[in-house]
Protein backbone atom coordinates (compact mmCIF):
# COMPACT_ATOMS: atom_id res chain seq x y z
CA UNK A 1 0.00 0.00 0.00
CA UNK A 2 1.19 3.49 -0.87
CA UNK A 3 1.27 6.13 1.82
CA UNK A 4 1.31 9.61 0.30
CA UNK A 5 2.16 12.94 1.93
CA UNK A 6 0.99 16.11 0.17
CA UNK A 7 2.77 19.35 1.11
CA UNK A 8 0.10 22.05 1.23
CA UNK A 9 0.58 25.37 -0.51
CA UNK A 10 -1.14 28.29 1.23
CA UNK A 11 -0.81 31.96 2.12
CA UNK A 12 -1.26 31.52 5.85
CA UNK A 13 -5.04 31.85 5.68
CA UNK A 14 -6.24 30.13 2.51
CA UNK A 15 -5.33 26.80 0.97
CA UNK A 16 -4.13 27.17 -2.61
CA UNK A 17 -6.22 25.17 -5.15
CA UNK A 18 -2.99 23.46 -6.28
CA UNK A 19 -3.13 21.32 -3.13
CA UNK A 20 -6.51 19.90 -4.05
CA UNK A 21 -5.19 19.01 -7.50
CA UNK A 22 -2.21 17.22 -5.95
CA UNK A 23 -4.69 15.19 -3.90
CA UNK A 24 -6.57 14.35 -7.10
CA UNK A 25 -3.32 13.08 -8.63
CA UNK A 26 -2.45 11.03 -5.55
CA UNK A 27 -5.91 9.45 -5.47
CA UNK A 28 -5.16 7.82 -8.82
CA UNK A 29 -2.57 5.61 -7.14
CA UNK A 30 -4.65 2.59 -6.20
CA UNK A 31 -4.89 1.52 -2.57
CA UNK A 32 -3.20 4.66 -1.28
CA UNK A 33 -3.75 6.66 1.89
CA UNK A 34 -3.31 10.41 1.56
CA UNK A 35 -2.21 12.81 4.29
CA UNK A 36 -1.70 16.57 3.95
CA UNK A 37 1.10 18.46 5.68
CA UNK A 38 0.51 22.10 6.60
CA UNK A 39 3.64 24.05 7.57
CA UNK A 40 2.72 27.44 9.05
CA UNK A 41 3.09 29.80 11.96
CA UNK A 42 -0.60 29.24 12.71
CA UNK A 43 -2.04 26.47 10.56
CA UNK A 44 -5.51 26.10 12.06
CA UNK A 45 -7.48 27.80 9.25
CA UNK A 46 -5.57 26.11 6.45
CA UNK A 47 -5.74 22.71 8.15
CA UNK A 48 -9.53 23.00 8.46
CA UNK A 49 -9.80 23.68 4.73
CA UNK A 50 -7.55 20.73 3.88
CA UNK A 51 -9.56 18.42 6.14
CA UNK A 52 -12.68 19.11 4.07
CA UNK A 53 -11.18 17.70 0.86
CA UNK A 54 -12.45 14.24 -0.01
CA UNK A 55 -9.84 11.51 0.08
CA UNK A 56 -7.67 13.05 2.80
CA UNK A 57 -7.05 10.67 5.68
CA UNK A 58 -5.28 13.02 8.05
CA UNK A 59 -3.97 16.59 8.16
CA UNK A 60 -0.63 17.11 9.89
CA UNK A 61 0.09 20.61 11.17
CA UNK A 62 3.65 21.70 11.93
CA UNK A 63 3.53 25.13 13.54
CA UNK A 64 6.63 27.22 13.98
CA UNK A 65 7.16 30.98 13.87
CA UNK A 66 9.86 30.33 11.25
CA UNK A 67 7.18 28.99 8.89
CA UNK A 68 5.39 32.32 8.57
CA UNK A 69 7.01 32.74 5.12
CA UNK A 70 7.38 29.77 2.75
CA UNK A 71 11.17 29.67 2.60
CA UNK A 72 12.25 26.41 0.96
CA UNK A 73 15.46 26.24 3.01
CA UNK A 74 13.40 26.32 6.21
CA UNK A 75 10.52 24.09 5.14
CA UNK A 76 12.52 21.33 3.42
CA UNK A 77 14.19 19.86 6.56
CA UNK A 78 10.78 19.66 8.26
CA UNK A 79 9.17 17.94 5.28
CA UNK A 80 12.05 15.46 4.98
CA UNK A 81 11.79 14.54 8.66
CA UNK A 82 8.02 14.17 8.63
CA UNK A 83 8.20 12.11 5.41
CA UNK A 84 9.50 9.13 7.40
CA UNK A 85 7.20 6.18 6.77
CA UNK A 86 5.71 7.63 3.58
CA UNK A 87 6.24 6.08 0.16
CA UNK A 88 5.45 9.28 -1.75
CA UNK A 89 5.88 13.01 -1.09
CA UNK A 90 4.05 15.29 -3.55
CA UNK A 91 4.02 19.05 -4.00
CA UNK A 92 2.50 21.24 -6.73
CA UNK A 93 4.49 22.21 -9.81
CA UNK A 94 4.03 25.88 -8.94
CA UNK A 95 6.66 28.40 -7.90
CA UNK A 96 6.24 27.12 -4.33
CA UNK A 97 6.65 23.45 -5.24
CA UNK A 98 9.46 23.96 -7.73
CA UNK A 99 11.42 25.78 -5.03
CA UNK A 100 10.72 23.33 -2.21
CA UNK A 101 10.54 19.79 -3.60
CA UNK A 102 14.07 19.52 -5.08
CA UNK A 103 15.45 20.31 -1.62
CA UNK A 104 13.23 17.64 -0.09
CA UNK A 105 14.41 15.10 -2.66
CA UNK A 106 18.05 15.97 -1.98
CA UNK A 107 17.60 15.58 1.78
CA UNK A 108 15.96 12.18 1.24
CA UNK A 109 18.71 11.12 -1.16
CA UNK A 110 16.47 10.49 -4.16
CA UNK A 111 15.85 12.02 -7.56
CA UNK A 112 12.76 14.11 -8.14
CA UNK A 113 10.03 13.37 -10.68
CA UNK A 114 8.96 16.69 -12.16
CA UNK A 115 5.61 17.70 -13.63
CA UNK A 116 3.55 14.52 -13.24
CA UNK A 117 0.74 14.78 -15.78
CA UNK A 118 -0.62 11.22 -15.53
CA UNK A 119 -0.32 8.28 -13.14
CA UNK A 120 0.51 4.89 -14.68
CA UNK A 121 1.17 3.07 -11.43
CA UNK A 122 2.49 3.60 -7.93
CA UNK A 123 6.02 4.18 -9.27
CA UNK A 124 5.30 4.97 -12.92
CA UNK A 125 4.29 8.40 -14.20
CA UNK A 126 4.02 10.42 -17.38
CA UNK A 127 5.54 13.88 -17.70
CA UNK A 128 5.94 16.30 -20.63
CA UNK A 129 9.30 17.00 -22.28
CA UNK A 130 10.49 19.09 -25.25
CA UNK A 131 8.04 21.91 -24.53
CA UNK A 132 5.18 19.44 -24.35
CA UNK A 133 5.87 17.97 -27.80
CA UNK A 134 6.59 14.57 -26.29
CA UNK A 135 5.50 12.67 -23.20
CA UNK A 136 7.98 10.62 -21.20
CA UNK A 137 7.12 7.68 -18.96
CA UNK A 138 9.24 7.75 -15.79
CA UNK A 139 9.83 4.64 -13.67
CA UNK A 140 10.95 5.12 -10.06
CA UNK A 141 12.71 2.21 -8.28
CA UNK A 142 10.17 0.32 -6.20
CA UNK A 143 12.28 0.66 -3.04
CA UNK A 144 12.74 4.43 -3.36
CA UNK A 145 10.63 7.22 -1.90
CA UNK A 146 8.85 9.03 -4.73
CA UNK A 147 9.37 12.79 -4.41
CA UNK A 148 7.51 14.62 -7.14
CA UNK A 149 5.87 17.79 -8.32
CA UNK A 150 2.40 17.56 -9.86
CA UNK A 151 1.47 19.42 -13.02
CA UNK A 152 -1.69 20.92 -11.55
CA UNK A 153 -3.00 21.94 -14.96
CA UNK A 154 -3.43 18.23 -15.77
CA UNK A 155 -5.72 17.39 -12.84
CA UNK A 156 -9.12 18.59 -11.71
CA UNK A 157 -9.54 19.67 -8.11
CA UNK A 158 -10.58 16.92 -5.70
CA UNK A 159 -14.14 16.99 -4.45
CA UNK A 160 -15.16 18.50 -1.13
CA UNK A 161 -16.98 16.62 1.60
CA UNK A 162 -14.11 15.20 3.62
CA UNK A 163 -13.79 15.22 7.39
CA UNK A 164 -10.19 14.31 8.06
CA UNK A 165 -8.61 14.31 11.50
CA UNK A 166 -6.20 17.17 12.28
CA UNK A 167 -3.04 16.34 14.19
CA UNK A 168 -0.30 18.69 15.37
CA UNK A 169 3.23 17.40 14.84
CA UNK A 170 6.72 18.53 15.75
CA UNK A 171 9.45 17.68 13.23
CA UNK A 172 12.08 18.13 15.92
CA UNK A 173 14.75 19.38 13.53
CA UNK A 174 17.07 22.35 13.82
CA UNK A 175 16.28 24.91 11.16
CA UNK A 176 18.95 26.64 9.07
CA UNK A 177 19.66 30.29 9.77
CA UNK A 178 21.51 31.10 6.54
CA UNK A 179 18.28 32.07 4.77
CA UNK A 180 15.93 34.73 6.05
CA UNK A 181 12.89 36.57 4.74
CA UNK A 182 13.57 40.23 3.96
CA UNK A 183 10.51 41.62 2.21
CA UNK A 184 7.82 40.97 -0.37
CA UNK A 185 6.82 43.38 -3.09
CA UNK A 186 3.75 42.74 -5.20
CA UNK A 187 1.02 44.75 -6.82
CA UNK A 188 -2.42 44.36 -5.25
CA UNK A 189 -4.61 44.12 -8.35
CA UNK A 190 -7.67 42.48 -6.83
CA UNK A 191 -7.72 40.04 -9.75
CA UNK A 192 -7.75 36.24 -9.37
CA UNK A 193 -4.47 34.34 -9.13
CA UNK A 194 -3.24 33.49 -12.63
CA UNK A 195 -2.45 29.85 -11.88
CA UNK A 196 -5.83 29.02 -10.36
CA UNK A 197 -8.22 31.41 -12.17
CA UNK A 198 -11.21 30.00 -14.05
CA UNK A 199 -10.95 32.77 -16.66
CA UNK A 200 -7.78 34.33 -18.07
CA UNK A 201 -7.41 37.22 -20.52
CA UNK A 202 -3.92 37.32 -22.03
CA UNK A 203 -2.22 39.78 -24.35
CA UNK A 204 0.70 39.54 -26.75
CA UNK A 205 3.20 41.74 -28.52
CA UNK A 206 0.49 43.07 -30.82
CA UNK A 207 -0.71 45.33 -27.97
CA UNK A 208 2.25 47.52 -28.90
CA UNK A 209 3.07 49.01 -25.51
CA UNK A 210 2.38 48.95 -21.79
CA UNK A 211 -0.23 51.61 -22.39
CA UNK A 212 -1.86 49.49 -25.07
CA UNK A 213 -2.04 46.61 -22.59
CA UNK A 214 -4.56 48.61 -20.55
CA UNK A 215 -7.40 47.27 -22.68
CA UNK A 216 -6.47 43.76 -21.49
CA UNK A 217 -6.76 44.85 -17.85
CA UNK A 218 -10.09 46.55 -18.52
CA UNK A 219 -11.58 43.48 -20.21
CA UNK A 220 -10.24 41.15 -17.53
CA UNK A 221 -11.74 43.29 -14.77
CA UNK A 222 -15.10 43.32 -16.54
CA UNK A 223 -14.97 39.48 -16.76
CA UNK A 224 -13.58 38.91 -13.27
CA UNK A 225 -10.60 37.24 -14.92
CA UNK A 226 -6.88 36.97 -14.28
CA UNK A 227 -4.42 38.62 -16.65
CA UNK A 228 -1.69 36.78 -18.53
CA UNK A 229 0.82 37.59 -21.25
CA UNK A 230 3.01 35.97 -23.85
CA UNK A 231 6.77 35.96 -23.45
CA UNK A 232 7.04 38.45 -26.31
CA UNK A 233 4.89 40.94 -24.37
CA UNK A 234 6.95 40.39 -21.23
CA UNK A 235 10.27 40.72 -23.06
CA UNK A 236 9.01 43.95 -24.66
CA UNK A 237 8.39 45.36 -21.19
CA UNK A 238 4.63 45.67 -21.48
CA UNK A 239 4.01 43.71 -18.26
CA UNK A 240 5.91 42.11 -15.39
CA UNK A 241 7.26 38.59 -15.90
CA UNK A 242 4.98 37.11 -13.22
CA UNK A 243 2.18 37.33 -15.81
CA UNK A 244 4.03 35.23 -18.38
CA UNK A 245 2.21 32.12 -19.60
CA UNK A 246 4.04 29.33 -21.39
CA UNK A 247 6.95 26.93 -21.19
CA UNK A 248 9.15 29.42 -19.33
CA UNK A 249 6.24 31.01 -17.48
CA UNK A 250 3.14 29.62 -15.82
CA UNK A 251 1.34 26.46 -16.92
CA UNK A 252 -2.40 27.06 -16.54
CA UNK A 253 -5.69 25.28 -17.21
CA UNK A 254 -8.55 27.79 -16.95
CA UNK A 255 -12.09 27.13 -18.08
CA UNK A 256 -11.72 30.03 -20.53
CA UNK A 257 -8.51 31.40 -22.05
CA UNK A 258 -8.86 34.54 -24.16
CA UNK A 259 -5.69 35.09 -26.24
CA UNK A 260 -5.54 38.62 -27.66
CA UNK A 261 -2.81 39.54 -30.11
CA UNK A 262 -0.93 36.31 -29.37
CA UNK A 263 0.43 34.43 -32.39
CA UNK A 264 0.59 31.04 -30.67
CA UNK A 265 4.25 30.01 -30.57
CA UNK A 266 4.77 26.43 -29.39
CA UNK A 267 6.33 27.65 -26.14
CA UNK A 268 3.19 29.61 -25.35
CA UNK A 269 0.83 26.80 -26.34
CA UNK A 270 2.62 24.50 -23.89
CA UNK A 271 1.30 26.66 -21.09
CA UNK A 272 -2.36 26.61 -22.14
CA UNK A 273 -2.90 23.22 -23.78
CA UNK A 274 -5.11 22.07 -20.90
CA UNK A 275 -7.42 25.11 -21.06
CA UNK A 276 -11.03 24.00 -21.55
CA UNK A 277 -11.97 26.69 -24.09
CA UNK A 278 -9.52 28.86 -26.03
CA UNK A 279 -10.71 32.03 -27.76
CA UNK A 280 -8.26 33.80 -30.06
CA UNK A 281 -8.35 37.35 -31.44
CA UNK A 282 -5.69 38.19 -34.00
CA UNK A 283 -5.52 40.20 -37.21
CA UNK A 284 -3.44 37.46 -38.87
CA UNK A 285 -5.82 34.74 -40.00
CA UNK A 286 -2.86 32.37 -40.46
CA UNK A 287 -1.58 32.73 -36.88
CA UNK A 288 -0.84 29.32 -35.28
CA UNK A 289 -3.11 30.17 -32.31
CA UNK A 290 -6.15 29.54 -34.51
CA UNK A 291 -5.17 25.88 -34.91
CA UNK A 292 -5.76 25.32 -31.20
CA UNK A 293 -8.56 27.84 -30.66
CA UNK A 294 -12.13 26.67 -30.11
CA UNK A 295 -13.33 30.11 -31.23
CA UNK A 296 -11.33 32.45 -33.46
CA UNK A 297 -11.95 36.05 -34.45
CA UNK A 298 -9.81 37.68 -37.14
CA UNK A 299 -9.61 41.43 -36.89
CA UNK A 300 -8.15 44.52 -35.24
CA UNK A 301 -7.94 43.83 -31.52
CA UNK A 302 -8.13 47.56 -30.73
CA UNK A 303 -11.59 47.62 -32.30
CA UNK A 304 -12.77 44.20 -31.14
CA UNK A 305 -11.75 44.26 -27.47
CA UNK A 306 -13.53 47.55 -26.58
CA UNK A 307 -16.62 46.23 -28.35
CA UNK A 308 -16.45 42.99 -26.32
CA UNK A 309 -16.16 45.03 -23.13
CA UNK A 310 -19.15 47.11 -24.20
CA UNK A 311 -21.21 43.99 -24.88
CA UNK A 312 -20.45 42.67 -21.41
CA UNK A 313 -22.25 45.66 -19.96
CA UNK A 314 -21.65 47.27 -16.60
Among 70, 286, 84, 259, which Cα is nearest to 169's? 84
Q: Over pLDDT 70: what percentage of the chain?
A: 98
Quote the mean pLDDT of the chain. 94
| CB-based contact 27:136 (threshold 8 Å) | no
| Strands in the chain per DSSP E | 3-7, 33-40, 56-63, 88-92, 112-116, 118-121, 124-129, 134-139, 146-150, 165-168, 199-203, 226-229, 256-260, 277-282, 295-298
pLDDT attached to residue 191 = 86
* Confidence label for 260 from pLDDT (cuts 50, 70 and 90): very high
Quick check: 210 pLDDT over 90? Answer: yes
Q: On the CB side of 137, how many CA atoms lie within 13 Å of its CA?
A: 7
Has residue 14 got a pLDDT over 80?
yes
Tell which residue, 58, 54, 243, 245, has the closest CA to residue 162. Answer: 54
Reported as a single tens digit per residue, the pLDDT across 46-84 is 999 999 999 999 999 999 999 999 999 999 999 999 999
Task: Give the residue among 139, 100, 99 at the shortest CA–CA distance from 116.
Answer: 139
| Residue-range domains of the chain with CATH | 3-168 (3.40.50.620), 199-312 (3.40.50.1220)
Most distant CA atoms of the chain, gap in Å: 62
Amino acid sequence: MSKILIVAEHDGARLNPSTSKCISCASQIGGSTIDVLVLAADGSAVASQAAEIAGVGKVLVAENAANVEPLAAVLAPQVAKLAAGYTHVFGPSTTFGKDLMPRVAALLGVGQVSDIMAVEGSHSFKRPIYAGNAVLTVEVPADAVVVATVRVASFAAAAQGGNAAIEKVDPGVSLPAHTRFVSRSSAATGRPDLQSAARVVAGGRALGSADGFKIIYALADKMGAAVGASRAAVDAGYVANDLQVGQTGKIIAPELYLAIGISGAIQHMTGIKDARTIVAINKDGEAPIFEAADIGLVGDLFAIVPELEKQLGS
